[in-house]
Amino acid sequence: MTKLSQGRYWVIVVVLLLLFTGCSTTPPQQTQQTPTQSLAPPTPTVTTPSPTTATSSSATWSLLQQGDMGYVVMMRHALAPGTGDPPNFRLEDCSTQRNLSAEGRAQARRIGEAFRRRGIKVSRVLSSQWCRCLETARLMNLGPVEPFAPLNSFFRDRSAQTRQTTEVREFIAANRNTVGAIILVTHQVNITALTDIVPQSGESVVLRANEQDPVEVIGRIESFSGDE
């Protein structure tokens, strides 16, 4: 290769290098971002302590047998097939209401016998003014039955729920020093509003008032099935 050819060769090489260098670009630098942390701590979930409950019906019966003060047995009426009441419902006319079946009446008698067989002292029996509750209370035969309007069903009129539930809670608190169980025969909606428990027909929720918590769930008596 001649000197002239060598010179041209290196000129071409230099030009190509310059072109290559000019076309290349430096990639932009990525700025690493630190995740933004919230200065306010998360709001803690507020939970209500679970009430003290007996572990079985037999344990609840044992508590009632001790005869201590302040026990209230809030009971759903015995079996009355159906839901709610007929459209022509009238409080003073049992024929317009949903009433106990033959099985429900037998169940109510068994409930009373269960209390007597265990020697449970009953100080008072109060009932909703609905016929199926009054009949349940009377068939139990545990003492005179007192109609008590705050135990009336508010299934059809939920506007009464807060007022009646408050009245029942106040009644329980006012009887925290009463010796012997007080039985309140009422409806599913009333029991659920006070305790968040949905009882079966003839089932009871045992309550007690104390200084720390006006109404405490002590236990449940599941169902009065003759062998209890």
Q: Looking at domain 57-221, which CATH architecture does it have?
A: 3-Layer(aba) Sandwich (3.40)
Which one-letter amino acid corresponds to residue 139?
A: L
CA distances, 203 to each of 47, 74, 199 (Å): 27, 9, 6
The predicted model scores a pTM of 0.75
- CA-nearest of 108, 136, 118, 140 to 60 is 118
Which one-letter amino acid corresponds to residue 98?
A: R
What radius of gyration, in Å, describes the C-alpha atoms of the chain? Answer: 38
- Average pLDDT in the 103-116 region? 96
Using 50, 70 and 90 to split pLDDT, how confident is the model at 208? Answer: very high
80 token code pair? 């009355």
Q: What is the DSSP string of 112-173?
A: HHHHHHTT--EEEEEE-SSHHHHHHHHHHTSS-EEE-GGGS--SS-GGGHHHHHHHHHHHHH
Q: What is the predicted pLDDT for the residue at 31?
A: 43
- CA-nearest of 46, 63, 45, 58 to 217 is 63
What are the residue boundaries of the structural domains of the chain, listed by start? 57-221
Rounded Cα distance, 164 and 99, in Å = 22
207 token code pair? 């309550």
Q: What is the pLDDT of residues 146-159, one digit of tens each?
A: 999 999 999 988 89
Range from 17-26, 108-117, 136-145, 189-198 carrying the lowest mean pLDDT: 17-26
Which letter does DSSP use for residue 84 in this model?
S
Give, in degrees to the nearest 5, the angle at Cα 216 between 213 and 218.
150
